[in-house]
Amino acid sequence: MPILSRPALVEHLVRTRIAGDVATPRDNNLSHYRKLANGDRHYWLGLELGDRWADEQDVLAVMAERCGVNDDPAHRAGQDTIDPELTVDALDRAAARLRKAAAGKQRVLFATGHPGALIDAHSRVAAALRAQGCDIVRIPGGLTADEGYVVQFADVAVFERGATLWHTHSPEPMNAILDGLEALGEARPDLVVADHGWAGRAGQRGIDSVGYADCNDPALFIGEAEGTMQVTIPLDDHVIDPRYYEPLTDYLLDASGLL
């Protein structure tokens, strides 16, 4: 398929509801912002936010600026949005970091808490970086976390329990990988490309981290605002067909000089 221009990609994101009028409802977004502000660590996605974001309205302001949700605090229910222009802006920032990784033949780790949606997108970027001479991290065997296993498919680390790949926000699988590498005397990654707690915990542990995040997952956007995350890319992280992410991934690879 040809690489979409920026305007065509924006149209695709809106049409497939990766951005624009997304499926996540406003009340769900506000509930998550409130829980983050109230100190519920499940919503911190591996970051350490202290008491810096105890005001729900501060969280909303960041999400309006960096994700494109409605900035009106009186809007409590119904539709919410992701600004597709912000999505493409973040893809361009991520592309710059991937170019740096390729130029330096860096060591890169890929992981996802959304294996049903994003594993192919991560895997394609991993393959493109390997073709440029990057060292794609092979995780240690036998890792466990959260009463399950941390495993790897197509170069992407995922969480498995009961012979099923799980959707997870937990940072513990990333802790298991980084601790496992250290125990084996292996170098930690120069860059992590991930989402959810995988991305947040990598950034918290001082590794350059690029993460995808939905409009109801404010922590990674706060992480970028504070400089803990390198880039946070706003999008609906589980639309109806994972193939909808292919034009987005193509654009990222092209902008990175990896095609």
Summarize pLDDT for 22-81 with one digit per residue, the tens.
Answer: 999 999 999 999 999 999 999 999 999 999 999 999 999 999 999 999 999 999 999 999
Q: What mean pLDDT is predicted for residues 211-215?
A: 98
Mean pLDDT of the chain: 97
Q: What mean pLDDT is predicted for residues 79-84?
A: 97
In this predicted model, what pLDDT tens digit does every residue of 244-254 receive, in sequence order?
Answer: 999 999 999 99
In this predicted model, what pLDDT tens digit does every residue of 141-197 receive, in sequence order?
Answer: 999 999 999 999 999 999 999 999 999 999 999 999 999 999 999 999 999 999 999
**How distant, in Å, are the alpha carbons of 12, 127, 149, 237, 240 from that of 245?**
10, 16, 27, 9, 10
Contacts of 240 (CB under 8 A, 6+ apart): none
Using CA atoms, how far apart are residues 255 and 98, in angstroms rounded to an integer?
9
Contact 33, 218 (CB under 8 A): yes
In this predicted model, what pLDDT tens digit does every residue of 43-54 receive, in sequence order?
Answer: 999 999 999 999
Put simply, whether the predicted model's pTM sits higher than 0.75 gets the answer yes
Q: How far is CA 231 from the centre of its chain?
A: 9
Task: For residue 148, give the H/E element and its range.
Answer: strand 148-153
Contacts of 107 (CB under 8 A, 6+ apart): 134, 135, 136, 137, 187, 188, 189, 190, 191
Using CA atoms, how far apart are residues 125 and 122, in angstroms rounded to an integer?
5
Contacts of 106 (CB under 8 A, 6+ apart): 100, 134, 135, 189, 190, 191
Is the pLDDT confidence value at 1 over 90? no
Pairing type for strands 208-213 and 191-195 reads parallel
User: How many helices (H) and strands (E) would you count in the chain?
Assistant: 9, 11
Contact 176, 146 (CB under 8 A): no
